[in-house]
Structure 1
Amino acid sequence: MANIDVEYCYSFPALRGIQAGKPFYVAMCPMRVIPKIFSFDENDVPPELRAQRTLNKARIPEMARYLIDNPDDYIFSALTASIAVDVRFDEFMDSNNLGTLRVPMEAQILINDGQHRRKAIEDALEQKPELGQDNIPVLFFVDEGLQRSQQMFADLNKYAIRPSPSLSSLYDHRDISSNLARYLAMSVEPFVGLTEMEKSSISKLSNKLFTLSSIKQATRALLGKDPKENDFEEMTQLASLYWQTIFDVMPDWQLAAKKQVSPAQLRQDYVHAHGIGLHALGLLGRSLMTEYPNNWRQKITNLKTFDWRKSNLDLSKRAMQHGKLSKSGTAIQLTCNALKIALLLPLSSEELELEAQMAAQ
């Protein structure tokens, strides 16, 4: 047991465990102490002398806002930290590794995983100090030097995989746009039964035609904004009406819904069977509803004869690069331009500029 002056240390209720023959500790820390005791190697230190990546400050405001807006319904996963000095663990009698972890106040405690959560907590506490009464679990390892801390960071992040945008949208019930996309996918033609709900790419032989994430992006383009709680019903009705109207002028989608043609075959031959086509249709809808609020549905009728084939040289020049469909904003807008031209709709000055740039290539 380390000889530590208990009057000058941080004390945390903790559980001791063993990994790879070494002790580690899981402690419950009040949120208010997190900014005070956990330091982070900022980017004035060269990467080879740091134990973790540079803080991406652009991520912090959204994370802090999540805490502030959901004080009764948030969840933050555990932080992982290294302690650069010996610690003391006072085990409770007959408790089987439950006790008090005592860390000297002068100890340097570095976060190996969770530095963005630490900064978000700090910023959130400035606006909502009462969050400081909450706890966050912290996994403490006794540091064995820089090399060990760097290896810990690498090991902790080696197998971390972000969920796909579709899966995030499927499970995110706080995000209004995700709620709308889920509703459309489960309730509105052409999406019912043809939507890949988990993955954000569709395998070659899949019987799905759309991804949930592409529906979300295309509907956001259609509405020109993220829906809010106070206009969710109105936006839902508008989006449902638009996509149903589009379905009515897309014979290939109708055949897929009736299982008279395979989605795999459509993906092989047609641009409308990919996210770029759906996104371009969303942009088209935004223009139509803005310029022709009373008769946009009649304007769409002529889409029934639009040539969506990849072999259409004009369309492929807009939507494809090096023989593959592009996901760039320029490709999406140029595809939308082709739809507007087919419907005899005027192009904006920005859209005309894109046309000129394409013609010059």
Structure 2
Amino acid sequence: MTDSSSIFQTTGLSLPALRGQQGSRTLYLTLPSNAVLNNFFPIDMEPADDRSQRALDAGHARQIAQYITSNPTEYALGAITYAVDLEGSFTEVEKGSNIGLLRLPLNARLRSIDGQHRREGIRLAIDAVQDLGSQSTALLIYVEHDLAKRRQMFSDMNNTARKVSKALNVSYDTRDPFARVAAELADNHPLLEGRVDREGSRTQPGDGNLFTLAALHDALKRLFVGGSGRVKDSARFDEDQIRTRGSVFFDALLSARPELRPGVTAEELEETRSRSILLSSTTLRVVAASFWAACEATGVDALAIGGAFSGFLSDLDFSPSADLWIQSGFVSPGRATPNARSQEMRAAAEVIADLLIARVHDENGVS
């Protein structure tokens, strides 16, 4: 049986490339068409004892394929990295230029080091997107035959990478309507203007910020899908509706909680943080989920529910020792911060929703 990870061409595979050096290794940068990538560069299917990276996650690959098919003119994929066990031959177009033609021989074996999910995503999307096969993906090829060293490369690449904060991703995302509205509210809403951290994963003591942009983004999604916060296709949600419901939600918070109003000093906010869970992003998500549940259960429009919601928030005890939080498991006895596990968040959201629904019934005459 022929090894599927070999390159099947009678004369080898030839690719225009740039040649370079990193440490003791030779590397090549090339821009094959996606059709060539699909036909000649394998997805790692080796047994675990011969694999250079993590196992393929089919769900993640499908997400990338969906991203490509949803954004066929604007998708952006980073370089895919492979290791090849044989040097091959390199013919320069001009001596000393390191620009030329790389020929990988028939028996060369390629192993994926980084980007296998992008590689599989391209394979899944190539028949659905016109001209995707003729477009290009950057490919880095290192010459490395040793399995232990290939695994070390994978480890090094992941150890030195630093994940970008969700807040910064939201800040730069102009495609997602929830992200656009979150940024707009952070700029213009009287409660939030100048008081939202757009880059950090959490607010910092004394910075005067109420929430991160990621927390706003999460809350907005829960205003439309509830406690899970999972939005598979954000494009199906109307931006004006997101803006309206988000404004009602934060208007209610502004009118109900004087300790958050503009003019409150950073020191006063820190005092509130020390004795209340009101400024926790986890609490914000739970309260947003309860607002969604009340809208769904009562059939009352978000604009009409705003008054009842504001009064409800005004009466709600946000001290961590309050019975509601302890009995629902949202805050453990003796602790000052909420539990972020989905089970406790769901339980707290259900309790709050029931109380809010009763309030809406009373104030709006809903039977």
Return the TM-score normalized by structure 2. Answer: 0.84
CA deviation after TM superposition for structure 1 residue 119, in Å: 0.4
Amino acid at match of 2:318: W
Greater Cα shift, 270-279 or 259-268 = 259-268
Residue 9 to residue 242, structure 1, CA distance change in 2 (3 Å): same
Please point out which of 25, 36, 39 is paired with 1:36.
Answer: 39
Please point out which of 285, 289, 292 is paired with 1:286.
Answer: 292
Does the 8 Å CA contact 2:218/2:285 hold for their aligned counterparts? yes
Residue 302 to residue 321, structure 1, CA distance change in 2 (3 Å): closer
Which aligned pairs between 1:50-89 and structure 2 lie closer than 5 A? 50-89=51-90
Amino acid at match of 2:223: L
CA deviation after TM superposition for structure 1 residue 89, in Å: 0.3
CA deviation after TM superposition for structure 1 residue 31, in Å: 0.8
Structure 1 residue aligned with 2:271: 265
Structure 2 residue aligned with 1:9: 12
2:307 aligned with 1:304, yes or no?
no
Which aligned pairs between 1:135-214 and structure 2 lie closer than 5 A? 135-214=136-215
Does the 8 Å CA contact 2:178/2:239 hold for their aligned counterparts? no
SS at match of 1:80: strand
Q: Which runs of 5+ in 1 are unaligned?
A: 1-5, 348-361
Does the 8 Å CA contact 2:25/2:144 hold for their aligned counterparts? no
Return the TM-score normalized by structure 1. Answer: 0.85
Report Cα offsets for 1:23-42 as digits up to 9, x if no partner: 21111111111122222332
Instruction: Please tell me the root mean square deviation across aligned C-alpha atoms, in Å.
Output: 2.5
Structure 1 residue aligned with 2:344: 331
Report Cα offsets for 1:2-54 as digits up to 9, x if no partner: xxxx96121111111111133211111111111222223326x12x4321110
In structure 2, distance between residues paired with 1:345 and 1:243: 21
In structure 1, distance between residues paired with 2:239 and 2:101: 49
Does the 8 Å CA contact 2:176/2:235 hold for their aligned counterparts? no
Structure 1 residue aligned with 2:363: none
Does the 8 Å CA contact 1:277/1:335 hold for their aligned counterparts? no
Structure 1 residue aligned with 2:243: 236
Residue 39 to residue 302, structure 1, CA distance change in 2 (3 Å): closer
In structure 2, distance between residues paired with 1:102 and 1:344: 69
Structure 2 residue aligned with 1:315: 325
Amino acid at match of 2:25: K
Structure 1 residue aligned with 2:110: 109
SS at match of 1:52: coil
Residue 343 to residue 122, structure 1, CA distance change in 2 (3 Å): closer
In structure 1, distance between residues paired with 2:279 and 2:98: 58
CA deviation after TM superposition for structure 1 residue 243, in Å: 1.6
Q: Which runs of 5+ in 2 are unaligned?
A: 1-8, 361-367
Does the 8 Å CA contact 2:220/2:288 hold for their aligned counterparts? yes
Amino acid at match of 1:65: Q
Residue 339 to residue 33, structure 1, CA distance change in 2 (3 Å): same
Structure 1 residue aligned with 2:258: 251
Structure 1 residue aligned with 2:358: 345
In structure 1, distance between residues paired with 2:60 and 2:22: 32
Structure 2 residue aligned with 1:358: none
Report Cα offsets for 1:74-103 as digits up to 9, x if no partner: 211111111122310001125611111111
In structure 2, distance between residues paired with 1:107 and 1:24: 15
Greater Cα shift, 287-296 or 234-243 = 287-296
Amino acid at match of 2:80: L
CA deviation after TM superposition for structure 1 residue 118, in Å: 0.6
Report Cα offsets for 1:96-134 as digits up to 9, x if no partner: 111111112332211111111110111111222511111
In structure 1, distance between residues paired with 2:266 and 2:156: 49
Greater Cα shift, 236-245 or 287-296 = 287-296
Report Cα offsets for 1:317-343 as digits up to 9, x if no partner: 432136242112233233334534655
CA deviation after TM superposition for structure 1 residue 257, in Å: 4.7
Amino acid at match of 1:125: I
Identity %: 22
Residue 310 to residue 117, structure 1, CA distance change in 2 (3 Å): same
Does the 8 Å CA contact 1:39/1:108 hold for their aligned counterparts? no
Greater Cα shift, 330-339 or 129-138 = 330-339
Does the 8 Å CA contact 1:315/1:338 hold for their aligned counterparts? no
